[in-house]
Structure 1
Amino acid sequence: MQSIHIKEVILHHTKVSLIAPFTTSFGTMEQKDVCLVEVVDDTGVSGWGETVTSNEPYYNEETTATTVYMLKEFLIPRMLKKEISHPNEVHDMLSFVRRNNIAKAAIETAIWDVFAKKNHTSIAKLLGGSQTEIAVGKSIGIQDTPAKLVEKVREFVDEGFKKIKVKIKPGADIAYLKAVRDAFPTIPLMADANSAYTLKDIDHLKELDSLNLMMIEQPLSHDDIVDHRILQKELTTPVCLDESVHSLDDARKAIELGSCKIINIKIGRVGGLYEAKRIHDLCMEHDIPVWCGGMLETGIGRAHNIQLTTLKNFTIPGDTAPSAHYWKEDIVTPEIVMNHGIIQVPSGDGIGYEVDRDKLSKVLISSERITEVDTTHPIPSA
């Protein structure tokens, strides 16, 4: 395969507005700042990634502002002017920075895109993916009443989504889920708690077992693996880990402890496609099914999710809903669409979609071209 030589990186600062507010146990999001990372090689081929952060450090410690800082001051200087023979190398090249996984993933995924395009193939094929279509689930934010939640679920079931995920928190949980289950006795249904509970809530959470849920996602602390082991022993409902799995090593420990039966893989949370694939492979070895979670991405992030989800062990529908469910107008072409809960994996090179620069210009605040290595901070040798 042809290697790539990174000539420049362009940071496109954008502000995008959601079609409707999205509420979780963290709070409500109506718009977000997104930095789109464009990596250009010395032949002019561009690849794209994005910072899948929120404006506030509620999901994890990163924000869009901090990811941009890390990219400019530490990560981009390491990658500029470097020759890369395979994007797998990027993981180790960026390992001198601890955590900051979303920032790392933003440039790492862009490099995967450049490399795949340079070699006239898709990211899916580079990863070893074989699925040609992916099943899609729908994530529903916390609603004002159980009746309103049922109404939302009915809308998305009728649209064909293959899984329904309901955000919950204390005071908006059992009664809400029971109302959905009573209305829809057989649909694939799960709950996402976003770390809203503690072990003191075990008896309360046991009430979920009567609802035949696919899983409850990250019910306990965002950085916990040990207490989830205790909870999983008490529940028949499978526990799925999200926020507390940042690496292959975290996944290994969670599996060995018996802290979960399912793992949600998010490219940004784990630092990129390479680590995401390693976690996928480990889970497959241990018969732990995985699915791809969403971070309210633009079409660029969604395209990367689609490429990753072609791997064999993604057996649970992910959160990669079509663009139109979140944005009035997405920035990729063609727009990401589904048919009866199924998205066809695009056949094109790289992420399989193209960035529409005219549409990008409508949400663009500014662009910043970086062509020279900034020596303000000494960069450890690789």
Structure 2
Amino acid sequence: MRINKIELFHVKIPLNFMFKTSKTAIDHRETIIIKITDELQNKGYGEVVAFTEPFYTNETLIDSKYVLIYNYIPNLIHKDIKHPFDIHKWIKPSYPMTLAALENALVDLYAKREKQSIMDVVFNEEINDDIYGGIVLGDQDVQELIKQIDHYKKEGYIRFKIKIKPEDGVLKLKAIREKYTNIQLLADANKSYKIEQIDELKKLDKLNLLCIEEPLDSVDFLEYQSLQKELQTSICLDESIQTINDLVTAIKLKAFKVLNIKVGRVGGLYYVKKMIELCRESNIEYWVGSMVESGISKILHVHLASLKDTYIPGDLSSSNRYFKRDIIKPEIIAKNGIIKIPKGYGLGVDIDETLLKNYTIDYEKIGGE
């Protein structure tokens, strides 16, 4: 396929609520939507899920825009690409979220040309037709958390991830577990505990959690190794694993038991596939997370969560939980807590071009007429 035109839509989408973690609070989401057009006028879409501030990883949206305009796109425009994964031969994952967005748009485009789904192109294995959704609840007081769990339980959700911090994380989780003995419950500390607080973390073992995600404010896998030896609860790594080498090291050290995979964080579907294969070989559980992201990136995670051997389906819920209107058509809908996997070519959804333009605060076009 020959790349004729690449467009960048820097969008700002209002959130329906203030989303809080131990590290940040946001009431809108800025991302960059990439639209790639080939010589046959087929179109593919990807999304840069970097944030405007480096609280999750060091990569920011400003970095992404600069790298796309002055490095990645000039090396791609008007060139013939046999397969989307070929770009990994000449682009190193120094800016993984930027690279992932470009690759994802190319995979969407390629799959449409080949009249296949994303999963056929990348995995070509049996998948589920639907998945259970999951709710992520930010750092709030326990009364508000219980109120929201009650609300989403009525919508059919059975799994909840709670953002926690050392000051009150265990107390919140204990109160939730005492009220809801049967829900699937996990915690995400976003690297907020010190290794010296191991006794506090060990209290989580009594709460029957699926896992605790990124507990330690550390980049040292040896500290995670020490913690996992002391915990019955499985440690889940997310932002600590950004490369294949990170994953290999963490596996060798037995620093964790579960991996949260996010396409943007690891540099694209090419690396996602390699990490899943490594997890399968090493008896590491894996599951598919998500970012605060538009449907263009979220629906990709919905597809990945349909793999048969995921530990839990994913941090995936209806589009209207986060946005009044999402960019994709149809939007993601969890009916009785269950999300259907799209069956169309590529991402399997259409893009609301009018809404995309309405959300756009900056626009760049490279190539084309």
Matches within 5 A, 1:127-166: 127-128=122-123, 129=125, 130-143=127-140, 145-166=141-162
Partner deviation per Cα, 1:216-254 (whole Å, 9 max, x = no partner)? 000113633221111100100000000111122221221
**Are residues 1:276 and 2:272 paired?**
yes
Match of 2:68 among 51, 68, 71: 71
**Are residues 1:9 and 2:12 paired?**
no
What is the CA RMSD across the aligned residues, in angstroms? 1.4
The answer to whether the 8 A contact 2:22-2:190 is kept is yes
What is the number of equivalent residue pairs in this alignment? 366
2:26 is paired with a residue whose SS is: strand
Match of 2:285 among 274, 280, 289: 289
Match of 1:46 in 2: 43
The answer to whether the 8 A contact 2:305-2:313 is kept is no
Post-superposition offset of 1:6: 1.1
Partner deviation per Cα, 1:251-281 (whole Å, 9 max, x = no partner)? 1221111011100000000000110111111
Q: Which moved more, 1:220-229 or 1:267-276?
A: 220-229
Equivalents in 1 of 2:18, 2:24: separation in Å? 10
Quickly say closer, same or farther: Cα 1:18–1:261, change in 2 above 3 A. same
**Are residues 1:121 and 2:116 paired?**
yes
2:334 is paired with a residue whose SS is: coil
**Are residues 1:109 and 2:104 paired?**
yes
**What amino acid is aligned across from residue 219 of structure 2 in structure 1?**
D
Post-superposition offset of 1:138: 0.7
Equivalents in 2 of 1:132, 1:58: separation in Å? 35
Match of 1:175 among 171, 177, 182: 171
**Are residues 1:342 and 2:347 paired?**
no
Q: Which moved more, 1:167-176 or 1:83-92?
A: 83-92
Match of 1:235 in 2: 231
1:362 is paired with a residue whose SS is: helix
Equivalents in 2 of 1:75, 1:339: separation in Å? 40
Tell me the TM-score normalised to structure 2 length.
Answer: 0.96
**Are residues 1:315 and 2:311 paired?**
yes
Q: Which moved more, 1:312-321 or 1:98-107?
A: 312-321
Quickly say closer, same or farther: Cα 1:270–1:21, change in 2 above 3 A. same
Equivalents in 2 of 1:318, 1:43: separation in Å? 35
Gaps of 5+ in 1: 373-382
**What amino acid is aligned across from residue 354 of structure 1 in structure 2?**
D
The answer to whether the 8 A contact 2:29-2:292 is kept is no
**What amino acid is aligned across from residue 140 of structure 1 in structure 2?**
L
The answer to whether the 8 A contact 2:108-2:346 is kept is yes
The answer to whether the 8 A contact 1:49-1:107 is kept is yes
Match of 2:33 in 1: 36
Q: Which moved more, 1:75-84 or 1:205-214?
A: 75-84
1:365 is paired with a residue whose SS is: strand
Gaps of 5+ in 2: none
1:12 is paired with a residue whose SS is: strand
User: Share of identical aligned residues, percent?
Assistant: 37
Partner deviation per Cα, 1:122-169 (whole Å, 9 max, x = no partner)? 1011122422212211100010x2222111122122222231000001
The answer to whether the 8 A contact 1:280-1:313 is kept is no
Post-superposition offset of 1:99: 2.0
The answer to whether the 8 A contact 2:10-2:363 is kept is yes
Match of 2:58 in 1: 61
Tell me the TM-score normalised to structure 1 length.
Answer: 0.93
**Are residues 1:254 and 2:250 paired?**
yes
